[in-house]
Amino acid sequence: MAHRAPPGLLLAAAALAGCHYAGEPTSACFVEPPAGTTQSSIFRVSGAGTCGTGGASVTTVPTPDRTFLATIRFKMRGARPSTTYVVQRAPELGDVPLTADSVCQRAQGLPPWNTGEPLFLTFLDPNTTLPRTLVTDASGDGALEFEHRSTAIPAGTRFDVQMRLVDDVSLPTTELRSGCMTVLVQ
pTM: 0.84
Predicted confidence at residue 113, as pLDDT, reads 84
Distance (Å, whole) CA 118 – CA 68: 21
* Res 95: pLDDT: 67
The per-residue pLDDT for 43 is 96
Predicted confidence at residue 174, as pLDDT, reads 96
Residue 34 in contact with residue 75, Cβ under 8 Å? yes
Tens of pLDDT, residues 112-153: 888 888 999 999 999 999 999 999 999 999 999 999 999 999
Residues of the chain where predicted confidence (pLDDT) is lower than 50: 1-20
What was the pLDDT predicted at 11?
A: 39
Q: How confident is the model at residue 116, as a pLDDT?
A: 83
- Residue 69 to residues 9, 41, 60, 123, 154: CA-CA distances in angstroms? 47, 22, 6, 13, 10
